[in-house]
Amino acid sequence: IERYDEYVNFSRIGNGSIGGKARGLAFLSSLIKKNPAFKGFEDVIITIPRTVVLGVDIFETFMETNDLYPLGLSEASDEEILERFVMASLPEEVKLKLVKFAQVIKKPIAIRSSSMLEDSYYQPFAGIYSTYMVPHSDNSEMMAAQLGDAIKCVYASVYFKSGKSYMTSTLNLIDEERMGIVLQEIVGQAHGNLFYPTFSGVGRSVNFYPIPPEKSEEGVVNVALGLGKYIVEGGMSLRFSPEYPAKVIQLSSPEMMLKETQKSFYALDLDANQFTPSVDDGINIRKVDLNTALKDGSLRWIGSILDMQNYVVRDGTMYEGYPIVTFANVLKYNSFPLAKIMKETLRIGQKEMNQPVEIEFAVDLQAPAGSPAVLYLLQIRPIVDSRVSLGPSITIEESDSAFIYSEAALGNGTISEIKDVIYVRTNNYKPANNQQIATEIEAINAKMQKENRPYLLIGPGRWGSQDPWLGVPVKWSQIAGARAIVEMGLENYSVEPSQGTHFFQNLTSLRVAYIYINTHVNKGKIDVKWLDSMQAQNETQYIRHIQTESPLILQIDGREGKAVMYYPGES
C-alpha cells in the first residue's frame, strides 16, 4: 500500500505472512472497529498507533540475496553478526518505500520484531528479539537510512546468542524462524531532547496473584510514567485491579510509597546521532529521574508530592516536597477513565481470543486544549494459563519432610526430574553484586543445559528485572535450563512477585514452575540452612550449586497457588 498518510493506520510492505506481533495489531485494529464499547468513553479516543508492517518475505529475500544464513547459523559473536547484517543491503523497493514513509511521519518510530513463533497460541514469548527506536528527522533520506539499519538490527537479533539459546530451550528450530517487522509511531510528546508518553501500561485479563478482595478473573494492570520498556523489563511499576482502582497496596502509607513506587523512567533521546546500530537495542534510551518529569509538566497528570516536613502526601504537583508516581488523578479522581477502559479492553480481548490475554498500551494525556486524550493499544498476546488442572488435583500441605513451601506458586502437577539446586548465597548478599551474580549464573546454566540437567534456581528479589536493585538482572537465555524458579524476600529486601514483565510471560509460557517465598512476612518457608549444609558441586563468591542423590520432588497445585518441594528421598 502506497498510502502512509494520517488516515491509514495499518499498512504493509511485502506479501506473505506478517508474524505474530503484527497479527496481534491487525486483530486489535479490527476489535476497535467492530466493538462500539471502544467509542463509549467521553473525551477519549482508543486506537492503535500508525503502523507499517514488513512481511516475512522481505526477511527471506534479504537473507538469501546477501547470503546471510550461513553466518546467522554459525557460532559467530553477536557483534560480528550485527556488523555483517548492517553492511548488507535491503531490497531496493523496500528502501524507496521507507523514504516515502519517512516523508509523512512526524513522530519517532519503534522498530519491533514480528516473528513467526512470537505470540503463538501455544508458546507465546516476549522480549527475546530486539526493539529499536529511531527519532524523527526532517531529513527523510537520513531517517529512512536509520529505519533500514534498525530493521537489519532486528533481523540480526534472531541469530544473537540469546535468541539461539531460547530456541534450544523451547525445542524450536532456529532455521525455521522467520521475521516480520512492525514500524510503529511512538506515543508521546517531545520535552526538550526527550520523547515519552504520559504513561505506559500492561494489562492482563487474569491475575495470578490476587490480593483479597480481588479475584483472579478480574485481571491486573501495571502502569508507569514514560516508555513501557520500564515495566516489561521489571521496573517498579504501580499495580492495580481494574475492579478496585483506588485500592493500591503500594500507596497504603508514605513509607510504602517511598519504597515501592517508581523512582525513574525511560525516555527516547531525540538526538538523531545517538542512534547507531548496536547489539544493545536501548542505545538511545535514557533513564531519567522524576524531577525531570516534574519540570516537563508530565508528572502533573499522575503524580503526588510527599511533604517531608509534615510527612503527608498531597495529590497533584503544585506543592513543595518529594515527587511520587501515584496515578492519584487517574485512579482515585478518575480524571481519565483508565480502569474502566482496561476492564472493557481486557474483557473483549479475552472473549475474542478465547483465552486470557496480555495487552500493552500507552497514553498521551498532553493533548492540545479541546482535543480528546488518546489511549493507544500497542500489542496483544495470549497468556498460557498454567493453573489449569492437568489431571487429579494434588492436596498440598506444609510438612516437616519439605524444605520449600509456598502459597504463591505458578505451575501444575508433579516435577520429579530435579537433582540440582543453584542458589544465591544469602549470608553476605548485597544487591550491588547482582550484575556479577547474573554472569556467574549464565556460566553454570550453559554447563547444565549442555549436560541436559534441569535445575531449581533460588535467589532474592525479582528474577529478570533489568533494575539490578530489584533483583538479579538475568536475561531469559541466561537461565533457560531452569525447571523451577524461586524468588525469595530477605529481611530488608522484599520485592512483590511481578506479572507484567516479559520475563514473567516467558516463564508461564514455557511452564517453568514459579515459587514466591518471603519468610520475614510469614509467606511460605525455605530451609536455607539445609542447602548450606550440603556439599557444593561448584561454589563461587555469590553462588552455590548442590546436587542430590535422589530427585527433589516438587508438587504444585495451580488452582490453589500452593507448592511444596521435599527433601531428597521424601514425598
Q: Give the domain-ending residue among 128, 153, 186.
A: 186
Say what the pLDDT of residue 195 is.
98
Say what the pLDDT of residue 8 is.
64
Query: Looking at this protein, which amino acid is placed at residue 169?
Result: S
CB 243 within 8 A of CB 343: yes
Q: What CATH number is given to the structural domain containing 133? A: 3.30.1490.20
155 within domain boundaries: yes
Bridge partners (DSSP) of residue 312 are: 307
What angle is formed at CA 84 by the lines to CA 81 and CA 85, rounded to 5 degrees?
A: 80
For the packed helices 140-157 and 56-65, what is the interaxial angle rounded to 10 degrees? 80
Q: Alpha-carbon distance 321 to 257, whole Å?
A: 14
Q: Which residues have a Cβ under 8 Å from the Cβ of 163 and sit 6 or more positions away? A: 128, 129, 157, 174, 177, 477
323 within domain boundaries: no
| Range of the structural domain that residue 151 is part of | 10-186
Question: How many Cα atoms occupy the beta-carbon half-sphere of 362 within 13 Å?
Answer: 23
482 class by beta-carbon count within 10 Å (0-12 exposed, 13-18 middle, 19+ buried): buried
CB 59 within 8 A of CB 155: yes
Nine cell digits for residue 540: 563461587
Handedness of CA 107, 110, 114, 120 (dihedral sign): negative
Q: Alpha-carbon distance 468 to 135, whole Å?
A: 28
SS3 state at 114: strand
**Pairing status of strand 303-307 against strand 420-424:** unpaired
SS3 state at 97: helix
pLDDT tens over the chain, length 571 residues? 455 555 568 889 988 889 888 999 999 999 999 999 999 998 999 999 999 999 999 999 999 999 999 999 999 999 999 999 999 999 999 999 999 999 999 999 999 999 877 656 556 567 788 899 999 999 999 999 999 999 999 999 999 988 887 777 666 666 677 889 999 999 999 999 999 999 999 999 998 878 778 888 999 999 999 999 999 888 889 999 999 999 998 898 898 899 889 999 999 999 988 899 999 999 999 999 999 999 999 999 999 999 988 999 999 999 999 999 999 999 999 999 999 999 999 999 999 999 999 999 999 998 788 889 999 999 999 887 766 544 555 677 778 899 999 988 887 788 899 999 999 998 888 999 999 999 999 999 999 998 999 999 999 988 988 888 888 999 888 998 999 999 998 777 666 766 777 788 777 777 788 999 988 777 899 999 999 999 999 999 999 999 999 999 999 887 778 899 999 988 7
451 within domain boundaries: yes
433 class by beta-carbon count within 10 Å (0-12 exposed, 13-18 middle, 19+ buried): middle
- How many helices (H) and strands (E) the chain has is answered by 15, 30
216 within domain boundaries: no
Name the region of 336 (left: φ>0; alpha: ψ -120 to 50; beta: rest): beta
Q: Alpha-carbon distance 420 to 400, whole Å?
A: 21
356 within domain boundaries: no
Q: How far is CA 245 from CA 45, 97, 380, in A?
A: 21, 44, 22
What is the number of domains present in the chain?
2
Q: Give the domain-ending residue among 186, 216, 250.
A: 186
Query: Looking at this protein, which amino acid is placed at residue 383?
Result: I
Nine cell digits for residue 456: 531449581
Q: Alpha-carbon distance 72 to 262, whole Å?
A: 39
373 within domain boundaries: no
393 within domain boundaries: no
Q: Which residues have a Cβ under 8 Å from the Cβ of 279 and sit 6 or more positions away? A: 78, 79, 82, 160
Q: Give the domain-ending residue among 153, 169, 186.
A: 186
Say what the pLDDT of residue 213 is.
84
325 within domain boundaries: no
Say what the pLDDT of residue 272 is.
85
Return the DSSP state at 512: -
